[in-house]
Copies of this chain bind each other. A is one copy, B any other.
Amino acid sequence: MIATTPQPPYYAVIFLSTMSTKQKNYAEMSERMIEFASKEEGFLGIESARDENGFGITISYWESEAAIQRWKDNAFHFVAQEKGKSTWYTDYMIRICEVERAYGTDRK
C-alpha cells in the first residue's frame, strides 16, 4: 500500500533483500518489525513488496536522520533478540535517502 506522507523534505530508508529460503515465520517477523518501527518517534510510513522469487523491497519514511538512527539502534537490539538477520537473507542492501519531491494520485 502507498504510504501517506507529508510534503518533502523527509527521509527514506530503502531496504533491499533476497531471502535465503522460504522462511515460514518471515511474514510474522516482518509484521512485528513494521509494528515496531511504527511506534518509533519520527516514523512517517512504510511500503513493502516481495516478489515470487523472494526479492523484496521495503521503504520506511522518517522525519529526520536522527529518527532513523534511533530506530536503527532499537531495531538492532530487537533483531538480535529474535534471530540473526544473517539467517533470513543471502543478500541485502540499505540506502539512506533524502526525499526531495513526491507526486502521484491522491484518492485518500
A residues sitting closer than 8 Å to B (CB atoms) are 1-2, 8, 12, 14, 16, 18, 47-52, 55-57, 59, 89-105, 107
CB-defined contacts of A89 to chain B, threshold 8 Å = 105
* B50 lies within 8 A of A49 (CB): yes
25 contacts between A and B (CB under 8 A): A1-B55, A2-B16, A2-B91, A2-B92, A12-B95, A14-B14, A14-B59, A16-B104, A48-B51, A49-B49, A49-B55, A49-B56, A57-B57, A57-B59, A89-B105, A91-B105, A91-B107, A92-B104, A94-B103, A95-B102, A96-B99, A96-B101, A97-B98, A97-B99, A98-B98
* A97 lies within 8 A of B97 (CB): yes
In angstroms, Cα B16 to Cα A72, docked, is 24
